[in-house]
Amino acid sequence: MTVAEHEYPYLLPQADVLTKPFWDALREHKLAIQECGACGKLRHPPIGVCPECGSEAIAWRVMNGRGTLYSYIVVHQTALPNWRGSVPYNIVMVALDEAPDIKLYGNVVDFDDAQLKVGLPVVASYDDVTSEDTILRWRVVDPT
Amino acid sequence: MPEQDFREKIAIAGIGYSRSAENPGAFSKNSGVDVLTLAVRAAREACADAGLAPKQIDGAVMYQIFDDSVRTNQVLSALGCPAVNYASNLVGGGNYASFAVMQAAQAVYHGIANYVLVYRALNGRSGVRIGHWGAGAGGGQNRVGGEAQFSSIYGVAGAASQYGFEVRRYMELYGVTSLDLAHFAVNSRSNAVKNPRAMMRAPLTVEEHQASRLISAPYHLFDCCQETDVGCAMIVTTAERARDLRKRPVLISAAIGGGANPVPNIEDTSLIHLGPRLLRAADVTLDDIDLFEGYDAFTDMPMRMIEDMGWCKRGEAKDFIKDGRISLDGKLPTQTHGGLINEGYCHGFNNVLEAVQQLRGDTEDLCPNWHMGEHTYDRAVCRQVRDAKIALNVSVMGSSAIILKRDES
C-alpha cells in the first residue's frame, strides 16, 4: 500500500550519488545492479572504484530478478521501535541467479515464515511504499 | 628469524577490572559512573596486579565504536602519567580484542614504550548501546544512508539480526540445530556458575535454553550476550621486565589479524585464512593448546571457530562439544569464565583477561584461596584448568587472534 512519506512507519533509503540509479530502477520495477564500465564486474552495494580492475567507469545492468534464498532470519525482538508491532517478521538475503556473488536483503512476502529454507527459488517483487519510494521484496517461486 | 620476531619476548604483566565496593564483580547493567572512571579503575587494578605504579605507564592502546569510550590521552592523564610515548585509539569493534594486545606488544618490542596499558571500557547498557546500532534512525528521521539503506529498511538492526543470517545458513547447510547451540550455552554457563565476576550465574539446562524466548530466530535469549557496563585493562611490557614484577608473566606467543578477511560465504570465519599462519608463527599445534576463549556474542561463533581452526570439520563442532570435550577437564576447555554471554560483554577483551588468569593459575572462582593460586579442582567450586600452559583467544569471527603462553622461566 502506497502512503505519504510522513505516514510510512519504517525506514526509507537515503539515496546518494552512487546508489541513486539502483533506487531509480526499482521505481520503474527493474532490478539494476552496478557494474564496472570497463571490465563488467558486478558489485553491490555500489562503489566508486572497481575492485577487480581499478576503473572508475560505472555502468548498470538490469537483472532478470531471479534469485535463491541465501539466508534469512525471523525477528521476534527488535531494537527498532516502529517495527515492534510487526514481529515476528522475516528478513532474507538473496543471491542472484545471474550473479550468485551479489547478495540483496529484503523480505519474503505472502509466505509462511516457518516454511522458509535456504535454497528456495525467489523472484524480485517491487513495492511502491510511498509516492517516491519503491523497495525490493521477494516472492517464493511456486515449484509447480 | 621466526615469522613473528617478538614471539615470547613480550608479556602481559598484569590485568584489572573496573571493580568497586558496590560492584565487586565489575560487570553490570548500570555502572552508575562515567566511562573514564571505569577505565581508570581497571587500569589501576592492572597496575596493582603487576606491582607497577600508574605513573610508570608510558603508552596506551584502546578500541571503541560509536564514540562509546574514552581516549588514551584522557585515561593516561587521569592516571597522572608524565610521558606518553605511544598512543593508539582504534575505531572498530570486537575485531580488535586480540589485535589491541598485539599492537601494544609491537610498540614494546620496538622499544617505543616500556609499559603499555591496553583497555576497553564502556557503559554498553546504561550509555551508548552498541547492541542497538541501526536503531537510532526513525522517530522523525526516517531515512538511512550508507550500506544501511540496503538493510535497515527491512528491519536489520543490532547484532542478533546481522549475525542471525550467518548462523541460519551455517545451521541449515551443516545440520546444526538450536539444541546443539544449547549444549554450548550450558557448558559456558556451568563455568560462569563458578565465576564471581559473571553476570549470569544461575545454573542453566538445555531445556531452559530451548524454552527461552526467540530474539532473532534461530537465536534464543540464551544464545545472546548482554549489553554491559564494564572496564577491563592489562599491562604489556617486555618479558624481561615482567619477570621483575609481581605476577608470573604470560607471554605473547603469536598474534594476527585486525580486520575481517574476505571469505567465500557468510558462514566462514576469517580463521580459514589466519588460523594456519597463527599456529605456525607460535610454533604450536592444535594439540598443544590447553584452553580456548572465542568471541561469543552468540553461541555459534566459538563453535565455528573450533571448526575453522581445524579441531574438527565444518559442521562437526556440535559433536566435538559433547561428551565433555570443552568442559574444564576436557581436551579443549572453552569459555572457562562463561564467555561474553555469561560474564558480560567487554567487547571480547574480557576473554583475553580470562586466558591470562588461567595461564597464571590464579583464576578467580569459588575456591577459598583462589587469589593465592590455590585450587581444589573440585568442579562444584573450581574453574581453574589443570596445568594450563597455552591459550588461544579469537576475536569476532576470527578477525584477530592471539596465542598466549605461561612463562616457564
Is B213's Cβ below 8 Å from some Cβ in A?
A: yes
User: pLDDT at residue A13 above 50?
Assistant: yes
DSSP characters over B271-293: HHHHHHHHHHHHT--GGG--EEE
Please report the domains of chain A, with CATH numbers, ordered by start residue.
Answer: 14-62 (no CATH), 64-144 (2.40.50.840)
Q: Using the beta-carbon criterion (under 8 Å), do A79 and B132 form an inter-chain contact?
A: yes
Q: Using the beta-carbon criterion (under 8 Å), do A14 and B143 form an inter-chain contact?
A: yes
What confidence category does residue B323 fall into, taking pLDDT thresholds of 50, 70 and 90?
confident
What confidence category does residue B137 fall into, taking pLDDT thresholds of 50, 70 and 90?
very low
Are both B234 and B332 inside the same structural domain?
no
pLDDT score of B89: 98
- Give the 3-state secondary structure of residue A70: strand
A120 contacts in chain B (CB < 8 Å): none
Are both B237 and B103 inside the same structural domain?
yes
Are both B107 and B235 inside the same structural domain?
yes
Choose from B128, B147, B150 for mutation: most chain A CBs within 10 A: B150
Is B139's Cβ below 8 Å from some Cβ in A?
A: yes
| B356 assigned to some structural domain | yes
Are both B269 and B370 inside the same structural domain?
yes
Pairing of strands B390-394, B291-294: parallel
| B189 assigned to some structural domain | no
Burial of B229 (0-12, 13-18, 19+ CB in 10 A): buried
| B46 assigned to some structural domain | yes
What confidence category does residue B132 fall into, taking pLDDT thresholds of 50, 70 and 90?
confident
Are both B398 and B285 inside the same structural domain?
yes
d(CA B12, CA B14): 6
Look up the CATH number of the domain holding residue B63. Answer: 3.40.47.10
Q: How many domains does chain B have?
A: 2
Are both B234 and B85 inside the same structural domain?
yes
Mean pLDDT of B334-344: 98
Choosing from B187, B209, B242, the residue where a domain stops is B242
d(CA B304, CA B268): 8
Are both B290 and B373 inside the same structural domain?
yes
Are both B318 and B234 inside the same structural domain?
no
Task: Provide the annotated active-site residues of B.
Answer: 295, 345
Q: Between A and B, how many CB-CB pairs are < 8 A?
A: 118
**What ipTM, to 2 d.p.?**
0.96
Q: Which domain holds residue B313?
A: 253-406
Alpha carbon of B225: minimum distance to chain A alpha carbons (Å):
14
| B168 assigned to some structural domain | no
Choose among B142, B145, B217: nearest Cβ to A74: B217
Sole residue written with cell 505519504: A4
| B145 assigned to some structural domain | no
Alpha carbon of A18: minimum distance to chain B alpha carbons (Å):
10
CA separation, residue B55 to residues B232, B233, B235, B387 (Å): 18, 15, 13, 34
Q: Nearest-CA neighbor of B356 among B284, B251, B245, B244?
A: B251
Are both B326 and B266 inside the same structural domain?
yes
| B202 assigned to some structural domain | no
Take residue B222 and report the three cell numbers written for it: 540464551
Q: Using the beta-carbon criterion (under 8 Å), do A79 and B173 form an inter-chain contact?
A: no
Residue B22: how many other CB atoms lie within 10 Å: 9
A115 contacts in chain B (CB < 8 Å): none
Are both B264 and B314 inside the same structural domain?
yes
| B201 assigned to some structural domain | no
User: pLDDT at residue B101 above 90?
Assistant: yes
pLDDT tens digits along B271-283: 999 999 999 999 9
Are both B393 and B278 inside the same structural domain?
yes
pLDDT score of B1: 55
- Choice between A1 and B256, residue whose per-residue pLDDT is larger: B256
Q: Using the beta-carbon criterion (under 8 Å), do A82 and B147 form an inter-chain contact?
A: no
pLDDT tens digits along B169-195: 999 999 999 999 999 999 999 999 999
Are both B234 and B283 inside the same structural domain?
no
Q: Specify the DSSP class assigned to residue B135.
A: -
Alpha carbon of B125: minimum distance to chain A alpha carbons (Å):
13
pLDDT score of B141: 66
What confidence category does residue A81 fall into, taking pLDDT thresholds of 50, 70 and 90?
confident
| B371 assigned to some structural domain | yes
Query: Average model confidence (pLDDT) for chain B?
Result: 95
Choosing from B211, B242, B273, the residue where a domain stops is B242
Choosing from B218, B242, B266, the residue where a domain stops is B242
Choose from A7, A71, A130 for mutation: most chain B CBs within 10 A: A71
